[in-house]
Chains A and B, each alone.
Chain A
Amino acid sequence: MAARWRILVVALLLAGPAAAVRNAVGQSAGRTVAGVVQDSSTGEALPRAYVSAVGAANTALTNTDGRFALFGVPAGPLTLEVRYIGYAPATIRIGDAPADTGTVVIRLVRPVIRLGTVDVESQRILGVDAGSRVGEIAVSAEQVATTPSLGEVDIFRTLQLLPGVSNANRATSGLYVRGGTPDQNLVLLDGMTMYHVDHFFGLFSAFNADAVKDIRLFPGGYPAKYGGRVSSVVELTGKTGDETTFRGSAGLGLLSARAAAEVPLGRGSLVVTARRSYTDIVQSRLYDKLFAVTGGSTTTIQQPGPGGGGPGGGGPGGGGAFFNAQTLAPVFYFYDANAKLSYRPSEHDLVSLSLYAGDDRLDQSQTSQVTFRGGPGGAFGGGTGIGDGSAGSIANTDVSDWGNRGVSGRWLRQWSPRWSSDALVAMSSYHSDADRSSSAVLAATAGNAGTLARPSVREHNTVEDLTVRVDNEITASTRLRFTAGAGITRSHVQYNFTQGQGDSTTGGVRRGAEGLLAAVYAQSEWAPTRSLLLTTGLRVSADDATERTYAEPRVSASYQVNRVVRIHGAWGKYNQFVNRVENEDVLSGSRDFWLLADTGLAPTGAEHRVGGITFDLNDYLLSVEAYDKKLDNVSLFSRRFRRVGVAADFNTLFYQGTGEARGLEFLVQKKYGRLTGWAAYTLAEATERYDEVDDGAAFPSAQDQRHEAKVSAAYQLGQWTLSSAFTFGSGTPYTSPESQYYLTLLDGSRVGYIHVGDKNGERLPSFHRLDAALFRRFTGNARFDWEVGLSVFNLYDRANVAYRQFDLTTTPITVTDVRSLGRTPSIDVRVFLK
């Protein structure tokens, strides 16, 4: 019944714009003003800039190519006001000539605040825009540049400070948006889907800020244009570059170096950026510190080897090895590169080709000389089965390699001031490979030389997609805008997991699927009055992998009560066909892998409800927003419920359940002036439920965080920018082994077990951290400027717990709190060629 009502509401809301179209077609009064908004120094087109006619109701947003059109503009001289995040607002007077005949070019100035030449008190430049558009937050490049970081300007670390986005203490750059997981965010870079968004186990995001000009986050209730994810959308638009002047920059931090170049090509430009860590060449103290946080170690260890076995593990254990010396010198590096070639065949066309490649590789393989000792040993742990006193070696292979590749070709066409199209062909691929295996070799002198099988785990995960899509924007009138489009995506996802002992396999998963997803959507933005804006959309997807069609209606509304107060709400349905599944690992932390929904694994579905109120008090913005997300077919892969009968086939160990996330977000933002920033607090809850887990009882999701508070501030002090970010979060849940017990079987044998507590039944301690940074840009000579950024991560050296690790191979069992990064100063220097 409820579904019928919703369909009725959507139908009524769609009928309104249809009636408005009839009215718009009949409108002949007024004129059309079309134009383009650009960066004043580089000519870079500025997407989603807000253009309004002063004294009239005409407003417009620029498209991806910076173009806009205002319709029904009253005759006579006109003043246009243009605003874009990170730029000084501009007002332009237009004469009485018919504007249909020409394009108004509006160039916005992006003041380099750090040069101290700008009166920031009067310029009213917005760093983060959380209040202009319902369900959309824009972040300026300037904001990203001044947010404290680990030496690298980091887009995602800035997004993590926004209300409703959490992550500050996790080993990933991924965003946990309103109780969702990072895989539930659609991350688009020039239309390419990015599946993995971080480097160095999450210490840095995978996107080079030098290559990105526009950053948008749609945290929920997002438009029908976007599909395939159930939590949020992060849309990154790459720079098109300066079409007239060569520009270059180079930067050096304590871990990596980077360079960027903008090459003018007549009617187009080429932007190339590259970044690479030199951690495989020079391993600084900072690297050692960062690496330790990821769970690795570069230290020399001299300790007794694990005893093996214990309860379970097939025996009493005992066959350990004594590590005489173990020196681990991991080889690690990451790189990413972006290139974007733009070309304007005509005033109304822009063709671009974007490429992205990023990779991380970690090799922790080692060979240790050992003296074996002990008894027969268990099946797990250090049990080698070798007698006491034998010399030999243990060779551990531990190699991980992961990354993204992507390429997109785009053609933007302005058919008329009312109609523009965006045609896209994009290809993305993600890969993650891990090989953790080892073998014990007994020296020939021991008399019984040979190689002994030891535990091994191998994982291989790939996601490949090819998308062809066309989006259209049609502005029917100043109060009515349509977007509509269609696309197809072919995806191929493969996951192989093998668990074994030496070369023999004791279990695994081999799961691959290919699917073709076709989607069409239509959306209207209709303003029946000057105060009310209704957005209605419908997205329909047909998926051949699951052999089903999915309808996703979406509605949002905002009502401007008065000059200060606005209320808004959104409702929508969403489906996700490529899902990241939790591979539960109680002992050392769960990992995830991507799978494609098919007839055996249903796609994740979500229903969003969002409502809020905003108070815009000129310099300050206050907002309160509530959300509720219901999810179905969330997935879990756990070997904890494995039985002997299915030991070799882990494909039966996938479980699907339901989830719910709800919360209340509070934001106070100081938007303008020397001191800018915001304070945000989120009260939230995220739960999941699976029939097979904990007797079907609901449990907290791994990303559940009841309280999170963030304060981000930047102060302009002459030529210096001082910024700080404080975060507090209550503890996140984890699953803990709780006890051990023995049962006597009827054949007289006594078997030991480790008992694992309720899923996510324990919580880590709450965390808090203050980061601070100091920036200054120096004017060099006629050829270059340079910039220095000093950051201190975790200023007061709080020992936050990142995760808890259990080692069952020791007697007694040991628990280790792996700490997040302590106080870490870093420096970053950049040189800009003029």
Chain B
Amino acid sequence: MNIRSLPAISLFACAAVACTTEPTLPDASEQWVIEAFLYAGEPVDGIRITEALPLGSSDTAGVPIDDAVVTLVRSGVRFSLTLAANGTGRYHYAGNDLEVAPGDVFTLEARRNGVVASGTTVVPSPPESVSLSADSLVIAAFGGGRGGGGRGGTGSQLIARWPNTSRELFYVVVESVDSSAAPITAGFRPDRRFIFAPIAADSFAVSTLSLSYYGLHQVRVYHVNAEYAALYESRQQDTRDLNEPATNLTNALGVFSAFSSRTAAFRAVAAQ
């Protein structure tokens, strides 16, 4: 090494100057989002697959993936799912030989472009029982608009109860099942189904405020599986922490879970 080395080193160093590229956002299209829910005793049609959104996107829905090969596996038996409708990314099982029952272990496989995403869930047991504090809920007449404070008084709520000693999560759906029932507010026909946030409790108060129709209603109490509970617990991501929900899927984002439910019925009646 001699003095001539120094310019040589410098020359090498200068030659190594490369154009620096602007930072690019990671490619999100390679990542899938699977939302797959199985319900004991119900047909399989709640499986949706989409692409994740790029970081720079202001959309709120990913591009549906219609070309995945989706299979449910139970005890070694494979059930092929088909696309419900083009452009939706929603898959269902068209046959009638698949009944989801409590205790079943299902593996979901979604294959696309040589990549397999998979996850496993166990169909939970339904609540041991669901009881209601009354057979009917009396809807008081009210004068003002909705929320005007007119509904109240005696019989303005009933309590649904189920055993839950281990503080597991349940969620409650209250649904008007009488298609001919009259709406509580004349001329206003809102949804017949009210879904409430999961609760780690053994009772739920069904209020007259959550009803839109008179007539027969079902209170359906769903037992929530661990992976869904984890998802629900992470529903508020702090963007400082970027705490993501835990997933039970491999090679995909989202959740694969199953639910079992038990129902009880009551009737919504107008006050005399």
Contacts and interface: CB of A to CB of B under 8 A. Distances in A.
Given A643-B230, A713-B6, A770-B13, A754 B239 contact: yes
Contacts of B13: 726, 768-770, 795-796
A817 B23 contact: yes
Interface stretch (A73-81, A245-253, A622-630, A805-813): A805-813
Nearest to A670: B1
Given A644-B233, A675-B5, A743-B231, A738 B242 contact: no
A724 B6 contact: yes
Contact of A738 (B3, B28, B35, B230): B28
Nearest to A810: B56
Contacts of B65: none
Interface in A758-799: 762, 765, 768-770, 772, 795-799
A721 to B, nearest CB: 12
Interface in B139-194: 171
A813 B5 contact: no
Nearest to A378: B239
B236 interface: yes
A751 B230 CA distance: 14
B239 A741 contact: no
Interface stretch (B78-86, B110-118, B195-203, B210-218): B195-203
A805 B122 CA distance: 41
Given A670-B1, A675-B5, A743-B35, A754 B237 contact: yes
Given A796-B13, A817-B23, A755 B244 contact: yes
B195 A746 contact: yes
A757 interface: yes
A314 interface: yes
Nearest to B19: A799
A415 interface: no
Contacts of A756: 242, 244
A756 B244 CA distance: 8
Interface in B1-60: 1-3, 5-6, 9-10, 12-14, 16-17, 20-26, 28, 31, 33, 35, 37, 50, 52-58, 60
A770 B56 CA distance: 36
B59 to A, nearest CB: 9
Contacts of A586: 242
B255 interface: yes
Contacts of B25: 813, 815
B190 to A, nearest CB: 13
B49 to A, nearest CB: 11
B62 A741 contact: yes
Contacts of A587: 240, 242
A587 B28 CA distance: 18
Contacts of A817: 20, 22-23
Contacts of B197: 745, 747, 749
A455 interface: yes
A754 B57 CA distance: 11
B91 interface: no
A742 B61 contact: yes
B189 to A, nearest CB: 18
Q: Of A640, A711, A746, which is in contact with the most chain B CB atoms at under 10 Å from its CB?
A: A746
A739 interface: yes
B26 A728 contact: no
Contact of A752 (B1, B20, B60, B246): B60
Nearest to A643: B233
A733 interface: no
B241 A642 contact: yes
A739 B235 contact: no
B7 to A, nearest CB: 10
Nearest to A717: B3
B239 A746 contact: no
Contacts of A314: 236
A645 B246 CA distance: 13
B207 to A, nearest CB: 16
A312 B28 contact: no
Interface residues of A, number: 79
B245 interface: yes
B230 A722 contact: no
Contacts of B10: 724, 770, 772, 795
A639 B245 CA distance: 12
A748 interface: yes
Contacts of B61: 742
Contact of A724 (B9, B22, B57): B9
Given A313-B237, A640-B242, A675 B3 contact: yes
Nearest to A804: B23
Q: Is the interface of B mostly helix, strand, loop or mixed?
A: loop
B179 to A, nearest CB: 21
Counting chain B CB atoms within 10 Å of each CB, which of A506, A643, A722, A817 scores highest? A643
A158 interface: no
A381 interface: yes
B23 A645 contact: no
A757 B55 CA distance: 12
A756 B245 CA distance: 11
B257 to A, nearest CB: 9
A755 B195 contact: no
B62 A742 contact: yes
A729 B233 CA distance: 42
A745 B230 CA distance: 12
A314 B234 CA distance: 11
A713 B9 contact: yes
A425 to B, nearest CB: 43
A263 to B, nearest CB: 41
A641 interface: yes
Interface string A804-833: 101011011111110000000000000000
A742 B196 CA distance: 19
A457 B52 CA distance: 31
Contact of A499 (B50, B52, B240): B240
Contacts of A644: 233-236
Interface in A494-530: 499, 506
Nearest to A646: B233
Contact of A808 (B20, B171, B198, B239): B239
B129 interface: no
Given A313-B239, A765-B20, A675 B60 contact: no
Given A754-B244, A804-B23, A738 B55 contact: yes
B243 interface: yes
A765 B24 CA distance: 12
Nearest to A771: B13
A562 interface: no
A809 B55 CA distance: 12
Interface in A7-26: none
Given A739-B31, A743-B254, A645 B233 contact: yes
Given A741-B253, A804-B23, A768 B16 contact: yes
Given A739-B31, A798-B17, A310 B243 contact: no
A765 B20 CA distance: 9
Query: Which of B33, B37, B196, B244 gathers most chain A CB within 10 Å?
Result: B244
Contacts of B239: 309-310, 312-313, 378, 380-381, 754, 808-809
A578 to B, nearest CB: 26
Contacts of B238: 312-313, 379-380, 506, 639, 642
A116 to B, nearest CB: 16
Closest 7 CB pairs of A and B: A312-B237, A739-B28, A812-B56, A639-B241, A739-B52, A770-B13, A644-B233
8 contacts: A644-B235, A740-B52, A743-B255, A746-B222, A747-B197, A801-B20, A815-B55, A817-B23
Interface of A: 309-314, 378-381, 455, 457, 499, 506, 586-587, 639-645, 670, 674-675, 677, 711, 713, 715, 722, 724, 726, 728, 736-757, 762, 765, 768-770, 772, 795-799, 801, 804, 806, 808-809, 811-817
Given A313-B239, A380-B240, A587-B240, 9 more contacts: A312-B242, A506-B238, A642-B243, A736-B26, A747-B195, A770-B14, A813-B25, A813-B55, A815-B55
